[in-house]
Structure 1
Amino acid sequence: MKLLGKTALVTGASRGIGRAIALELAQQGINRLLLVARNGSKLADVAADIEAMGVEVIILPLDITQPVAVSTAIAQAWREYGPIHLLVNCAGVAHQTSFLHANLSQMKDELSVNLMGTYNITRLVARRMAKQKEGTIVNVSSLMGKIAAPTMATYSATKFALLGFSQALRGELAPYNVRVVALLPSLTDTDMVRDLDWFRFMQPVSPKKVAQTLVKGLQKDTPEILVGWESHLAVWCQRFAPWFIEQITRMAAPLSRKPRSPQLRQVELIG
């Protein structure tokens, strides 16, 4: 995909991976960026950094789980700023907790943002992309969308679901010249990582590396973009020796050690 002269919309753009992707797109010559997140002041800070590069930025403080507000904002943005060529669905939340101590509100929160929020905005943008016969949709899943992680049951479930969602859309939207890609970062060094009881043996990558890997991947005809050789190795092992990966995951999980408390950390990943 050529970025020059294009317009991109990035959700979860106020922090972490979403912020890094927005900055990387700006550095690579994108013409216009629409930035979506719930925190308007943080979006404004990101916009200031991008505008300093000479790229036009529009901030859209939105809760993507609110379909009416999202529909209104997308329709207005399309009218005022023209077609969106690239949609990056990066907004997501996670609650790290033992499944036996999890509560229903946590589960609903993850399902609402990670799945329904992504569905809401993708449906609105994809219909317009199909009419213009051009577009690329990136759904940010996770390595946990391939290898489920103890203490992250619902989060893993949503990331597995995003891979299925991406695969289904890929087939449906191909006749309209709309490409669908899944990005699978592993543990990423964002501010939220410092509050996690995370997994042994995992070395975090930088958000910038995730963003750079995405941009490089967009130049290739690949349906899934993995970040780092460790992710490629883990997915290869999952395919050919799933029993081995399951044992390693159990050994690495926080619950294989004495937890700090019955309920582990609750964090917002992006946006």
Structure 2
Amino acid sequence: MNVQGKTVLITGASRGIGRAIALELAQQGAKKLLLVARDRQRLDEVGREIEAFGTQVVTLALDLSQIVEVNIAIAQAWRNHGPIHLLVNCAGVAHQAPFLKTQLPDVQQEIAINLMGMYTMTRLVARRMAAQREGTIVNVSSLMGKIAAPTMATYSATKFAIVGFTQALRGELAEHNIKVMALLPSLTDTDMVRELHWFRWVVPMTPQKVAKGLVAGLNRESPEILVGWQSHLAVWCDRIAPWLLEKILLMAAPLSKYKQKQYRRLRQAALTSR
């Protein structure tokens, strides 16, 4: 897909990967960008940056967990600014904790925004794309949508669900001339990720690299867009030796000091017994 002259709706556009995608698509010649996020001030700041490229900008301050408000806003946006040619579902949150210490409100928020927010937006836009028999939908998952990791159980669950949802829609919406793709970046240096305990040995990539990866994937019409050599290596390892990858993830996970000492003792005992 060539985005030049197209109208694009991006959720989670006020920061991180969503912001980088919005700026990249503006540079690639998108005609109009509809930016969705909760923080109106940040949205307006991104909008001013994008207007410098000559791209029209519409900002929609929405909480994707508020389904009625989202329905009304998207219906109005399509009527006033549509048709929308490309939807990028990028909004998401992440909470990190050992499973036995997870807090239910955090779990509910991840499911509400990462999964139900994406579902709501996709349903609203896909119905209209089907009527016009044209469109592309990109659901932003994660490498954790292919490979789950300790301390990120619910986040991984939502990202796995996004991959499955995308695969199902790809076949279902093809008859309406709608392409459905998944974007799977590895660890990306964003505001959200900086609040987490990073996994050892993982080198974060920039949001700009993810955005360029998306554009390249759109041009190739790739059903799944893996970004970064770490993603390709991890997926390859999961296919060839999943047991090895599981051990590596356990070693890399940001465990408690007690767990780290326990793991070192077990590892030393295993080495001694050889």
- The TM-score, its normalising length taken from structure 1, stands at 0.94
Tell me, yes or no, if the aligned pair for 1:94 and 1:110 is still in contact at 8 Å: yes
**Quick one: distance in 2 between partners of 1:47 and 1:60?**
11
**Quick one: distance in 2 between partners of 1:256 and 1:142?**
25
Moved over 4 A (4+): 256-259
* Structure 1 counterpart of 2:214, one-letter code: L
**Quick one: distance in 2 between partners of 1:140 and 1:87?**
11
Q: CA deviation at 1:195?
A: 2.5
Q: CA deviation at 1:258?
A: 5.0
**Quick one: distance in 2 between partners of 1:165 and 1:193?**
24
**Quick one: distance in 1 between partners of 2:25 and 2:186?**
20
Aligned runs of 1:249-260 on 2, under 5 Å? 249-255=249-255, 257=257
Aligned runs of 1:49-198 on 2, under 5 Å? 49-198=49-198
Residue equivalent to 1:269:
none
* Structure 2 counterpart of 1:236, one-letter code: W
User: Which structure ranks higher in relative contact order (CA pairs < 8 Å, sequence separation ≥ 6)?
Assistant: 1
Tell me, yes or no, if the aligned pair for 1:186 and 1:231 is still in contact at 8 Å: yes
Aligned runs of 1:204-243 on 2, under 5 Å? 204-243=204-243
* Structure 2 counterpart of 1:213, one-letter code: G
Q: CA deviation at 1:160?
A: 0.2
Tell me, yes or no, if the aligned pair for 1:250 and 1:256 is still in contact at 8 Å: no
Q: CA deviation at 1:102?
A: 0.7
**Quick one: distance in 2 between partners of 1:113 and 1:121?**
11
Residue equivalent to 1:201:
201
Tell me, yes or no, if the aligned pair for 1:87 and 1:138 is still in contact at 8 Å: yes
Q: CA deviation at 1:203?
A: 0.1
Residue deviations 1:13-36, cap 9 Å, x none? 000000000000000000000000
Structure number with bigger Rg = 2
Q: CA deviation at 1:67?
A: 1.2
Point out the structure with the larger helix share.
Answer: 2
Residue equivalent to 1:8:
8
Q: CA deviation at 1:221?
A: 2.8
**Quick one: distance in 1 between partners of 2:247 and 2:128?**
45
* Structure 1 counterpart of 2:162, one-letter code: L
Which structure 2 segments of 5+ residues have no match? 260-274
What is the percent sequence identity of the aligned residues? 68
**Quick one: distance in 2 between partners of 1:247 and 1:256?**
17
Tell me, yes or no, if the aligned pair for 1:33 and 1:58 is still in contact at 8 Å: yes
Residue equivalent to 2:262:
none
Tell me, yes or no, if the aligned pair for 2:130 and 2:176 is still in contact at 8 Å: yes
**Quick one: distance in 1 between partners of 2:256 and 2:186?**
20
Q: CA deviation at 1:191?
A: 2.4
SS of match in other structure, 1:202 = coil
Tell me, yes or no, if the aligned pair for 1:9 and 1:36 is still in contact at 8 Å: yes
Tell me, yes or no, if the aligned pair for 1:134 and 1:176 is still in contact at 8 Å: yes
SS of match in other structure, 1:189 = coil
Considering only aligned residues, what root-mean-square deviation do their CA atoms show, in Å?
1.0
Residue equivalent to 1:45:
45
SS of match in other structure, 1:94 = coil
SS of match in other structure, 1:115 = helix
Aligned residues: 259
